[in-house]
Amino acid sequence: MNQFQTELDVATIDYNKQLKNDLTAYFQAINPKIVILDMFTNGLLSYYSKILLENVSQNMHLICNDALSFNTLLNAPSNLYKIPPNKTFVENTASFLTKRYQTHIGIAVAGIHDFEEKENKIYIGYSFYNNTISRIIECSGSQEIRYNQIINSVFGYLKMLFIKYPIINKRS
């Protein structure tokens, strides 16, 4: 079991390093503006985006924990906020963020905690250069493992969007 855990740890470190290299390359090539709304990890997305993106883009991170902060701080329409969160909510929120803050990429993350089962259902919405898409992930395990799964999912799917919707930066 110990050997397996060591191999898993090394694979995770290598994955994070490769993900960082890939995202850095994409962000340096096109220099996008990005806004991330975190309604689940209490700021961990902000922390890890700083590590993964290392000042290669103009970015903003917002943390909202309830309807009041969502509607007041974002100046969002009152009918946008939904409890419990769903796929449509995160897609509409990501799209709203890109329009509200005039960015190229908007990411909204919301979820449902199940403390008894130690599981989470996470909704991730992306507005990526006028393409709106969402992902749903189910995380289980300890809190640390679940947060690691969320971080890898948010940025892993972002990397996939760069592949799915290639952007050609036309230089003058």
Please tell me the distance from the alpha carbon of residue 143 to that of residue 75, in angstroms, as a whole number: 31
The reported pLDDT for the residue numbered 7 is: 46
- Token pair 């995160």 in the structure block, residue: 90
> Which of the two residues, 46 and 10, has the higher pLDDT score?
46
Tell me: the pLDDT tens digits for 122-166? 999 999 999 999 999 998 888 888 888 899 999 999 999 998 988
Domains of the chain: 2-164 (3.90.950.20)
Kindly tell me if the per-residue pLDDT of 45 is higher than 60: yes
Nearest partner of 40 among 10, 70, 12, judged by Cα:
70
Strand-pairing partners, residue 36, are 61, 107
> What's the pTM value of the predicted model, to 2 decimals?
0.84
The reported pLDDT for the residue numbered 15 is: 57
The reported pLDDT for the residue numbered 106 is: 96
Cβ atoms within 10 Å, residue 140: 12
41 contact partners, CB below 8 Å, separation of at least 6: 109, 147, 150, 151
The reported pLDDT for the residue numbered 169 is: 53
Kindly tell me if the per-residue pLDDT of 10 is higher than 50: no
Tell me: the pLDDT tens digits for 66-118? 888 888 888 888 889 888 889 999 999 999 999 999 999 999 999 987 656 66
User: What's the mean pLDDT in 32-59?
Assistant: 85
CA distances from 84 to 1, 66, 68 (A): 38, 11, 15
Please tell me the distance from the alpha carbon of residue 62 to that of residue 46, in angstroms, as a whole number: 8
51 contact partners, CB below 8 Å, separation of at least 6: 20
Please tell me the distance from the alpha carbon of residue 136 to that of residue 125, in angstroms, as a whole number: 9
